[in-house]
Amino acid sequence: MNIARKMLRDKKYRNYIIRRLTEETKRAAAPPTSKKMSNADIEFLSSLKIGFVGGCELSFMKEYLEANGAQCYLTFDHNEPSNPFLAFSDEKGGLYSFNPSIVIVSDVQDIRNYIFDIQHGATDFAKQEEQLGQAKDRILNGIKIAREKLSAVFVIMNYPLAIRPAHGRFDYKHLSNAYSLREFLKRLDLLYMGMSKQEEDLYLLSIDEAFLSAGVGNQIRESDADGIYEHLTQDGAVTVAKDLIEHLKVITGHGRRVKCAVIDLDNTLWDGILRDDGVEGVNLHPNRLKSLELLTKRGIILAISSKNDSTLVPMIDEILGESSKLFTIKKVNWNDKTQNLQEIAQELNIGIDSLAFFDDNPYERDQISTFLPQVLVLPDTEILHALNRLEFEPVGKLTEESSKRAMMYSQQSQRESVEKQFFDKKSFLQACEMQLWMRETKPENLGRVTELILRTNQLNATTVRYTKEEILDFYRSDDYNIYIVNLDDKYGEYGLIGVSLIHREGNKWTMDILTFSCRAMGKTVEQTFLTYMMNEAKKLDATTLVGKYVKTDRNEAIERIFEEAEFVKSAGEDGMVFWHYDFDERGVPNYPDWFDIKT
């Protein structure tokens, strides 16, 4: 009624409302819901509950995500504070009863005051540093409160602004006693990145990067833009929302992940046919080679599958130079590439669905797609773009093991070669000079713990995929312990290769998660790790160690581990199997003598 009275009495207000309604009516011709989204993305969004903390700058994003399946809650819609600290401090606020798994945090409403000061020349370095400190405290102190009530991932959205500096294009030269508009926004972004780097459950959503990836267009609403506080258009909100979806897929570990990229050579990694043109006649694609090298930083293994004479391998190495060492396996032969890819997966002990295959030849690509549909098949032109594809994203935080994975597989090949020279397994294991380091996890290990849980299929007892944030909650809980194991030998480091998530229930310890890297297979690491956990349980007066197991088409090896460790099997519900070992009655096994044990 108040708005109606104001419309009747105030001509200026009435004209403003009419103009805004006209603009929004025009935009409604193509509302956010009309922006096409794939069925897979809609299915992904339908599994999420997303909370938005902030003001009206989040409204269009919320509408778009909600229209495409996500459950959403925006504090602005319920007259709750836009200030992150105040919003999270409101214990009776609707955000907590909504209980989101993802929280998008916008501090735009408070930052706008800082931008106002810059544009009007009413600030200085000292004041701006104080403002940046306030911005940090509002978010971090607010999230600290929220963590007590929510098990969620927090994503900071940075400030949406088309740069229109009051002091001209070179404002950074004219403002000698303060940060210019560009400088301040960059410092704010660096502040957000620094916060995200330090906090395991915090990430940054960059509006600028989203706009660049989509192509600059009608992203900021110009009807009320003033160089200080600006709104996203519906198109702009959709652009940012789509980028947010890609962020959330990576954060939650959604979708397939590539463990090994298999590359063709002729007319793929270089122009020309090696056997016809020779070393001097082919032109290497250094940008593609560099892109592949960058993939190895994520722990992705590189392999070659090329239809060529095997005698050409020295020439291939000559062309690739030092980069030849990047490729763990080289299949240079006249076999069908389907056979080569199957052999590569077998040698690396990974699933076929963990392979990506790059080839310029449509026939070869179609053949792999037909006979090995689990493989991600891509043309040679996609090598560069692999760095931005979801399938090549690392799972969890990049770890030391990730960057060393290619070297570790090379060391494993060396071990297997030496093993063939021994007549019995025990003699070989004793000759390896293995060191086993078992202990409770520390915060710096949680990235690798997450990676192992999310990536491992063959030696994973339940294949439950906990996110990094859920694992962090387990780490903080008084009812759970997370134990880990590292293995080294005279050939090199295996790294962190085993994880167990223990739920302590009186005198019973239950392994909700038990998973090992396939690199550990066949060395009795698994049984030795079980023995270690029995010893730890005994210290706290427990008597029984229980393993959960759900059979899949790829994890039968875990069942054999429990059998060899003489656990007793019992059936549960919904395919769950429990393996029990009462060490109070049967005693704790001894450690094998081929390990140097550290705890």
| CA pair distance 420, 249, nearest whole angstrom | 43
pLDDT at position 412: 60
Task: Look at residue 403 and tell me if it is in a domain.
Answer: no
Same domain, 588 and 545: yes
- Tell me, rounded to whole angstroms, the distance of Cα 239 from its chain centroid: 21
- CATH code for the domain of 157: 3.40.50.1110
- Secondary structure (DSSP) of 21-71: HHHHHHHTTS-GGGS---HHHHHHHTT-EEEEESSGGGHHHHHHHHHTT-E
Q: Which amino acid is at 214?
A: A
- Can you tell me the mean pLDDT for 537-550? 92
Together in a domain, 140 and 89:
yes
User: Which of 24-38, 329-343, 511-525 has the weakest average pLDDT?
Assistant: 24-38
Please check whether residues 422 and 439 belong to one and the same domain: yes
Range of the domain at 117: 31-252
Residue 95 has pLDDT above 60, yes or no: yes
* The pLDDT of residue 171 is above 50: yes
Task: Reply yes or no on whether the pLDDT at 443 is more than 90.
Answer: no
Percent of the chain whose pLDDT exceeds 70: 87
Residue 235 shares a structural domain with residue 357: no
State mean pLDDT over 410-433.
68
* Contact predicate 230/220, CB 8 Å: yes
For the segment 133-146, what is each residue's pLDDT rounded down to a tens digit?
999 999 999 999 99
Query: Is pLDDT at 415 greater than 80 in this prediction?
Result: no
The residue among 222, 252, 282 that closes a domain is 252
Name the average pLDDT for the chain: 86
pLDDT at position 217: 62
Residue 354 lies in a domain: yes
pLDDT, tens digit (0-9, with 9 covering 90-100), for 4-14: 676 667 766 66
Q: Is the pLDDT of residue 184 over 90?
A: yes
291 and 386 Cβ atoms separated by less than 8 Å: yes
Out of 41-55, 72-86, 108-122, 231-245, least confident range:
231-245
- 169 and 213 inside one domain: yes
Statement: residue 376 has pLDDT above 90: yes
Residue 466 sits in a domain of what CATH number?
A: 3.40.630.30
270 and 287 in contact (C-beta within 8 Å)? no
The letter for the amino acid at 136 is: K
Compute CA distances 468 → 20, 70, 453, whole Å: 44, 21, 10
| In a domain? residue 275 | yes
Are 20 and 156 part of one and the same domain? Answer: no
Looking at the fold, whether 201 and 122 belong to one and the same domain comes out as yes
- Look at residue 422 and tell me if it is in a domain: yes
Report pLDDT for 519.
72
Q: What is residue 284's predicted lDDT score, i.e. its pLDDT?
A: 92
**Residue at a domain's end among 337, 361, 392:** 392
Q: Lowest-confidence range among 204-208, 457-461, 543-547? A: 457-461
Rounded CA-CA distance 11/21 in Å is: 15
Question: Is residue 134 assigned to a domain?
Answer: yes
Q: Which of 347, 553, 559, 575 is nearest to 457 (CA)?
A: 553
| Helix, coil or strand: residue 304 | strand
Find the range with the poorest average confidence among 58-72, 490-504, 578-592: 490-504
Q: Are residues 61 and 104 in the same domain?
A: yes
In this predicted structure, which of 336-340, 348-352, 584-588 has the lowest mean pLDDT?
348-352
Largest pairwise CA distance in the chain: 99
Stronger pLDDT, 124 or 23, i.e. the higher one? 124
Whole-number Å distance between alpha carbons of 517 and 136: 39
Q: Considering 197, 229, 252, which residue would you say is the last residue of a domain?
A: 252
The single-letter DSSP state of residue 371 is H
Same domain, 246 and 266: no
pLDDT digits (tens, 9 = 90+) for 472-525: 889 989 999 999 999 988 877 888 889 999 999 989 999 999 998 877 777 889
Q: Are residues 20 and 35 in the same domain?
A: no
| Nearest-angstrom CA–CA distance, 102 and 220 | 25
Q: At what angle do helices 556-564 and 525-539 cross, to 10 degrees?
A: 60
How far, rounded to the nearest angstrom, does the alpha carbon of residue 433 sit from its chain's CA centroid? 35
> d(Cα 304, Cα 275) in Å, to the nearest integer?
16
User: Is residue 400 one of the residues assigned to a domain?
Assistant: no
Band of pLDDT at residue 31, cut at 50, 70 and 90 = very low
- pLDDT tens digits for range 457-470: 777 888 888 877 78
Assess whether 327 and 426 both reside in one domain. no
Q: Which residues contact 525 (CB under 8 A, 6 or more apart)?
A: 436, 485, 487, 497, 498, 516
What was the pLDDT predicted at 448? Answer: 84
| Total structural domains within the chain | 4
- Rounded to 5 degrees, what angle do the CA atoms 420, 426, 429 make? 70
Q: At 140, phi and psi to the nearest 5?
A: -65, -45
Q: Are residues 422 and 314 in the same domain?
A: no
Instruction: Decide which of 256 and 195 is more confident.
Output: 195
At 551, list the tokens. Answer: 């059979």
pLDDT tier, 572 (very low <50, low <70, confident <90, very high otherwise): confident
- The pLDDT, as a whole number, for residue 12 is 66
CA dist 79 to 11, 67, 83, 231, 283, Å?
27, 22, 12, 19, 63
What's the one-letter identity of residue 128?
Q
408 in any annotated domain: no
Contact at 8 Å (CB) between 263 and 381? no
- Does residue 438 lie in a domain region? yes
